[in-house]
Amino acid sequence: MQYWEVTVQFERENDRGRVQKVRELYLIDAMTGTEGEAKTYGYLEEQDETNFQVISLKQSRILKVVE
């Protein structure tokens, strides 16, 4: 397995009612970038997120995550 760093941009409303663009970074365990992007979309849709866009995807230098 490989890890992929996926940057996602959200449009969220702040406490003053203004819509702001917010970026979040996710670490995804996948064999390919395409699989990593699909897992990201699946995860965010399960979380009932809307108004998001994957803006970058790159292979991470992280080799192992120890739990």
| Dihedral sign of CA atoms 19, 21, 22, 27 in order | positive
pLDDT exceeds cutoff 90 at 6 = yes
pLDDT exceeds cutoff 90 at 67 = no
Which pLDDT tens digit goes with each residue over 29-64?
A: 999 999 999 999 999 999 999 889 999 999 999 999
Residue-range domain boundaries for the chain = 2-59
Q: What is the pLDDT of residue 1?
A: 79
Does the 2-59 domain belong in CATH 3.10.20? yes
Proportion of the chain in helix, strand, coil states, percent, rounded to 5: 20, 50, 30
Looking at the DSSP bridge assignments, the partners of residue 55 are: none
Q: Which amino acid is at 29?
A: D
Q: Can you tell me the mean pLDDT for 4-28?
A: 95
